[in-house]
C-alpha cells in the first residue's frame, strides 16, 4: 500500500472526524477514507418516548446547526398526525431558519474556514494604510481606517510576542499554499475577530421565539410564543422592532463584510476552482414553504436531484420511495440481517453494531474493510452531495432570479467558467451566494408576518391534536429541513402514543459517508482524490476541501446498538425492525 497520512482530529468542524489518505510519489492523493469516530445513540434514546418531546432530543444532535433537527422532528410528527400549523407560525419558523442560515454560514466562513486561506502570522507584515485602502475600495463597512487596522495588527503582535498563541498555536503559518498578501491577511484577521462579536448579537429571532440560542424551544403544532399586539409577554410591536433591527444587522455584515471578503480572497485561490469537485450529483429536500408544507411547489428552495452535473433535467425525489432512498453498511460498523450487499429504507432501518476496527489506541484504521460509524445513504444507489452547492445549483437550474444574478456576477468577477462551480472554491462561493439569497428572504418573511397580523391572523398554535388521545393508534411521518449543511430527513413511526421507530439521515452522513456495497466513495472521499499536498505533514489542502463541506459529525452519527447484539435479543426495543 502507498504511504497513508492520517489527520485526526480534523479541527474547526463540529464533532470528531478522521481522514486517512493514500499518497503517490508526487504527494498526490490517490484514495481517501473518511471516518466518524464518535457515537451517542440518539435514536436509541428516542424509542418509546412522547413524540411531542422528540424535537428536544433530536435538536441536541448538534449545537452548531442548532434548530435544524427540531424543524425536521416537529414536521415529522405533524406529518404523521396530520397537523396543519397556522400561517403565522410557519412564517415565524421560516424566519428562525433563515436567521440560522445567515448566522451559521458567516460563522463557518470566518471561524471554521478562513484560517485555511488566511495566514495570521503574515498579517504582522501588513501595512495598515494599504489594508485600509483595500477595505475602503471593497465596501462601505465603517471599521476601515488605517489606525483601526494598526490596532488589530498590534493585538496579533501582542499574542505572538507573548509566546502563547492560543487558538493560533501550531497552525500551518508560513505554509507555501498560503497565497494572500499580508494586507488581505490583516483584513481577514480583523473580520475574524469582528465576526465573533457580531455573531453574539444576532441570534435575537431565536432568543425571542425560542428563549435562547443555541437550542431554542419549539412546539409541535406551531410556535410557543403567542402573538398579541396588546400583550406585554407576547409578540408585540417592541419585539417586532428588535427583530427588524436584528435582520438589518445580520444582512449588513453579509453585504459589507462577508461577500466583499469572499470576492477579495477568491482570486488568490483560483486553483481551487478546478479541484475538489467530488461526485457531481446533488440532492435537496427543499425549504421555506410559503404555503401548505405538503405542497412542494411552494418551497423557495425546490426539492430536487441533479445527476452528473445535468442541470437541465432536475428530478423530484420522493423521500418515501422505498426503492430509491436507502442506506448501506458494507463499509460501516454495522451488520444487516440481509448482509452487506443490501440497502434499507430509513423508515424500516436496522441497526446492529458490528465494530471491527482496532482497539484504541490505534495508528491506522483497516480501511479495506469497515471503517466508520457513518452509514452510506444513497439515492437510487448513487452517492449524493448535499449542502449550499446543491441548493444553489438547484435554485440556479430552476431559474431563481436572485440566485441566477448572483452566480453570474460572481463567475464574471472571478473570470471563471460555469464549471468552476463544481469545486472546492465553488462550494465556498455557493455558501456565500446562498447566504445573500436567504438573508434577503428575512425582510420578506417579516413583511408577510406583519401582513398576517394586520389581517387578524394571529393564531400561532393548532391545539386540536395536542392530546395523545386524539391520535391514531399507528402513524408514520417524514420531516425534513434544508439545514445549512444540507438535506436533513427524519422518519418517525408512532404507535400507541409513543415513538416506535425514529431514524435520521443527516447532511454530513451523505457528504462524509464511507464507501458502499459497490465500493462507491462518499463525497469527501471523492473530492480529495487528485489533490496534491505541498507539505505532506501539513495537509492544509485537505482541510480546505473538507472544510468547504462544513462537516458536522455529531449529527452524522447517531445510532447503534451498544452491545453489538441483534436488537431483538438485546431486549432494549431499540430500532425495532418493522415489517412492511
Partner 1 sequence: MSEKTVYESLRESGLSRRDFMKFCGLLSGWMGLEFLPGVKALAATPEQVAEALMAKPRVPLIWLELQDCAGCTEAISRSQSPSLVNLVLNSISVDYQETLMAAAGFQAEASMRATMEKFKGRYVLVVEGSLSTAADGVYCAIAGRSGPDILREAAASAAAVIATGNCAAFGGLPKAAPNPTGALGVGDFIKDKPIVNIPGCPAIPEVTTGTIAHFLVMGTLPKTDRLKRPLTFYGHTIHDHCLRRPFYDAGKFAESFGGHGAREGECLYKLGCKGPTTYNACSSLKWEKGLSFPVQSGHPCLGCSEPNFWDGGGFYQAQSAPIDRPTAAAFGLAAGVGAALGAAMAGANGLAKRKAGKTEPAEPKKAAE
Site for partner 1 in 222-261 (CB under 8 A): 222-226, 228, 231-234, 242
- Residue among 461, 476, 529, 532 that touches partner 1 (CB under 8 A): 461
Burial 501-516 (b: 16+ CB within 10 A, else e): bbbbbbbbbbbbbbbb
Decide if 556 contacts 374 (C-beta within 8 A): yes
Radius of gyration of the chain (CA): 24
Residue 37 interacting with partner 1 (CB under 8 A): yes
Q: Is 470 in the site for partner 1 (CB under 8 A)?
A: no
Q: Give strand ranges (E) for 317-456.
A: 325-328, 334-335, 343-344, 352-353, 376-379
Name the strands in the sheet holding 343-344, side by side, starting at the edge strand that comes first in the sequence. Answer: 343-344, 325-328, 376-379
Q: Burial, 195: exposed, middle or buried (Cβ in 10 Å; 0-12, 13-18, 19+)?
A: buried
Q: Which of 143, 348, 466, 566 binds partner 1 (CB under 8 A)?
A: 466
Closest CB 111 distance from partner 1, rounded Å: 6
Q: Is 351 in the site for partner 1 (CB under 8 A)?
A: no
The binder of partner 1 chosen from 2, 8, 310, 535 (CB under 8 A):
8
SS3 504: strand
Q: At what angle do helices 87-107 and 237-253 cross, to 10 degrees?
A: 30
- The CB density around residue 455, as the number of other CB atoms within 10 Å, is 10
Q: Give the residue from 578, 571, 381, 541 showing the smallest Cα distance to 19.
A: 541
Site for partner 1 contains 203 (CB under 8 A): yes
DSSP string, 144-162: --HHHHHHHHHHHHHHHHT
Enter the DSSP assignment of 214: S
Kind and range of the H or E element at 510?
Answer: helix 507-511
Distance, CA of 413 to CA of 252 (rounded, Å): 21
Piece of 166-174, 255-263, 393-401, 437-445 that binds partner 1 (CB under 8 A)? 166-174
With binding defined as CB under 8 A, does residue 268 bind partner 1?
A: no
Cβ atoms within 10 Å, residue 171:
15
At its nearest, how many Å lie between partner 1 and the CB of residue 34? 14
By CB under 8 A, the residues from 524 to 553 that bind partner 1 are 537-539, 543
Q: How far apart are CA 553 and CA 39, in angstroms?
A: 9
Give whichever of 243 and 420 is closer to partner 1, judged by the CB atom.
243
Stretch that binds partner 1, among 12-20, 252-260, 288-296, 474-482 (CB under 8 A): 12-20
Which range binds partner 1 by CB under 8 A, 210-218, 321-329, 422-430, 507-515? Answer: 210-218
179 is a contact residue toward partner 1 (CB under 8 A): no
**By rule CB under 8 A, what count of residues binds partner 1?**
114
Subset of residues 391 to 430 that bind partner 1, contact rule: CB under 8 A: none
Member of 50, 295, 318, 569 binding partner 1 (CB under 8 A):
50
The span from the CA of 344 to the CA of 387, in Å, is 23
Q: Is 355 in the site for partner 1 (CB under 8 A)?
A: yes
23 binds partner 1 (CB under 8 A): no
372 bridge partner residues: 332
Distance CA 525, CA 340 (A): 20
Strands (E), 281-330: 282-284, 287-289, 299-301, 304-306, 325-328
Q: Which stretch binds partner 1 (CB under 8 A): 35-43, 127-135, 375-383, 408-416?
A: 35-43
What the block records as the C-alpha cell of 417 is: 467558467
Distance of closest approach, residue 171 Cβ to partner 1, in angstroms? 3
Site for partner 1 in 113-142 (CB under 8 A): 115, 120
Among 142, 361, 399, 456, binds partner 1 (CB under 8 A): 361
30, 82, 196, 408: residue in contact with partner 1 (rule CB under 8 A):
196
Q: Residue 66 or residue 90: which is nearer to partner 1 going by CB?
A: 66
**Could you tell me which of 143, 156, 144, 145 has the C-alpha nearest to residue 182?**
156
Quick one: which segment of 249-257, 264-272, 321-329, 458-466 binds partner 1 (CB under 8 A)? 458-466
Pick between residue 101 and residue 574 the one whose CB is nearest to partner 1: 574
Binding of partner 1 by 166 (CB under 8 A): yes
**422 CB contacts (<8 Å, ≥6 apart)?**
277, 280, 309, 389
- Identity of the residue, 348 or 498, whose beta carbon is nearer to partner 1 in the bound complex: 498
- Closest by CA to 108, choosing from 562, 580, 548, is 548
Q: Where in 52-71 is the site for partner 1 (CB under 8 A)?
A: 52-53, 56-57, 60-64, 66
Residues 287-306 that bind partner 1 (CB under 8 A): none
Interface with partner 1 includes 15 (CB under 8 A)? yes
Residue 92 parent element (H or E): helix 87-107
- Nearer CB in complex with partner 1: 61/279: 61
> Considering the complex, what minimum distance in angstroms separates the CB of residue 361 from partner 1?
5
Q: Which of 348, 498, 532, 577 binds partner 1 (CB under 8 A)?
A: 498
Q: Least CB distance from residue 555 to partner 1, whole Å?
A: 8
Q: What minimum distance in Å lies between the beta carbon of 63 and partner 1?
A: 2
Query: Does residue 574 interact with partner 1 by CB under 8 A?
Result: yes
Query: Does 204 participate in binding partner 1 (rule CB under 8 A)?
Result: yes
* 22 DSSP β-pair partners: 4, 31
User: Binding to partner 1 by residue 359, rule CB under 8 A?
Assistant: yes
Contacting range for partner 1; rule: CB under 8 A; set: 3-11, 175-183, 271-279, 334-342: 3-11
Amino acid at each position: 500500500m502507498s504511504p497513508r497520512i492520517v489527520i485526526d482530529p480534523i479541527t474547526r468542524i463540529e464533532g470528531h472526524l478522521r481522514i486517512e489518505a493514500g499518497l503517490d510519489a508526487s504527494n498526490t492523493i490517490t484514495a481517501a477514507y473518511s471516518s466518524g469516530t464518535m457515537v451517542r445513540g440518539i435514536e436509541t434514546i428516542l424509542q418509546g418516548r412522547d413524540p411531542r418531546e422528540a424535537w428536544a432530543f433530536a435538536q441536541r444532535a448538534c449545537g452548531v446547526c442548532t434548530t435544524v433537527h427540531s424543524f425536521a422532528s416537529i414536521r415529522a410528527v405533524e406529518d404523521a398526525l396530520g397537523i396543519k400549523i397556522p400561517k403565522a407560525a410557519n412564517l415565524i419558523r421560516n424566519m428562525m431558519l433563515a436567521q440560522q442560515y445567515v448566522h451559521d454560514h458567516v460563522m463557518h466562513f470566518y471561524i471554521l474556514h478562513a484560517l485555511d486561506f488566511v495566514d495570521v502570522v503574515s498579517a504582522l507584515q501588513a501595512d495598515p494604510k494599504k489594508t485600509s485602502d483595500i477595505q475602503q475600495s471593497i465596501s462601505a463597512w465603517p471599521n476601515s481606517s488605517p489606525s483601526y487596522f494598526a490596532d488589530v495588527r498590534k493585538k496579533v503582535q501582542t499574542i505572538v510576542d507573548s509566546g502563547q498563541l492560543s487558538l493560533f498555536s501550531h497552525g500551518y503559518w508560513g505554509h507555501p499554499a498560503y497565497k494572500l498578501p499580508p494586507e488581505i491577511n490583516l483584513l481577514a484577521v480583523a473580520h475574524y475577530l469582528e465576526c465573533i462579536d457580531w455573531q453574539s448579537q444576532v441570534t435575537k429571532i431565536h432568543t425571542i421565539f425560542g428563549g435562547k440560542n443555541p437550542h431554542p424551544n419549539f412546539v409541535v403544532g406551531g410556535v410557543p410564543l403567542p402573538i398579541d399586539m396588546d400583550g406585554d409577554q407576547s409578540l408585540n410591536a417592541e419585539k417586532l422592532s428588535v427583530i427588524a433591527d436584528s435582520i438589518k444587522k445580520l444582512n449588513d455584515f453579509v453585504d459589507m463584510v462577508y461577500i466583499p471578503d469572499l470576492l477579495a480572497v477568491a482570486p488568490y485561490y483560483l486553483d481551487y476552482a478546478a479541484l475538489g469537485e467530488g461526485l457531481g450529483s446533488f440532492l435537496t429536500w427543499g425549504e421555506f414553504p410559503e404555503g401548505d408544507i405538503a405542497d412542494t411547489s411552494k418551497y423557495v428552495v425546490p426539492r430536487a436531484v441533479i445527476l452528473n452535473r445535468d442541470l437541465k433535467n432536475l428530478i423530484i425525489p420522493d423521500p418515501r420511495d422505498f426503492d430509491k432512498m436507502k442506506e448501506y453498511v458494507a463499509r460501516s460498523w454495522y451488520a444487516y440481517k440481509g448482509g452487506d450487499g443490501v440497502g434499507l429504507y430509513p423508515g424500516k432501518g436496522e441497526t446492529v453494531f458490528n465494530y471491527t476496527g482496532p482497539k484504541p489506541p490505534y495508528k491506522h484504521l483497516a480501511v479495506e474493510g469497515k471503517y466508520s460509524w457513518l452509514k452510506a445513504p444513497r439515492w437510487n444507489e448513487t452517492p449524493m452531495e448535499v449542502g449550499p452547492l446543491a441548493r444553489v445549483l438547484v435554485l440556479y437550474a430552476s431559474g431563481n432570479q436572485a440566485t441566477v444574478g448572483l452566480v453570474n456576477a460572481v463567475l464574471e468577477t472571478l473570470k471563471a467558467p460555469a464549471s468552476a462551480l463544481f469545486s472546492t472554491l465553488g462550494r465556498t462561493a455557493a455558501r456565500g451566494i446562498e447566504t445573500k439569497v436567504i438573508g434577503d428572504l428575512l425582510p420578506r418573511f417579516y413583511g408577510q408576518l406583519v401582513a398576517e397580523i394586520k389581517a387578524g391572523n394571529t393564531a400561532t398554535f393548532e391545539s386540536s391534536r395536542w392530546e395523545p388521545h386524539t391520535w391514531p393508534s399507528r402513524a408514520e411521518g417524514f420531516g425534513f429541513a434544508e439545514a445549512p449543511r444540507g438535506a436533513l430527513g427524519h422518519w418517525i413511526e408512532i404507535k400507541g402514543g409513543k415513538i416506535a421507530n425514529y431514524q435520521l439521515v443527516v447532511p454530513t452522513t451523505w457528504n462524509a459517508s464511507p464507501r458502499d456495497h459497490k465500493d462507491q466513495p462518499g463525497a469527501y472521499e471523492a473530492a480529495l482524490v487528485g489533490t496534491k499536498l505541498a507539505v505532506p505533514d501539513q495537509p492544509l489542502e485537505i482541510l480546505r476541501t473538507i472544510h468547504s463541506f462544513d462537516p458536522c459529525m455529531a449529527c452524522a452519527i447517531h445510532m447503534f446498538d451498544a452491545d453489538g447484539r441483534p436488537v431483538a435479543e438485546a431486549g432494549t426495543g431499540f430500532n425495532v425492525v418493522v415489517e412492511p
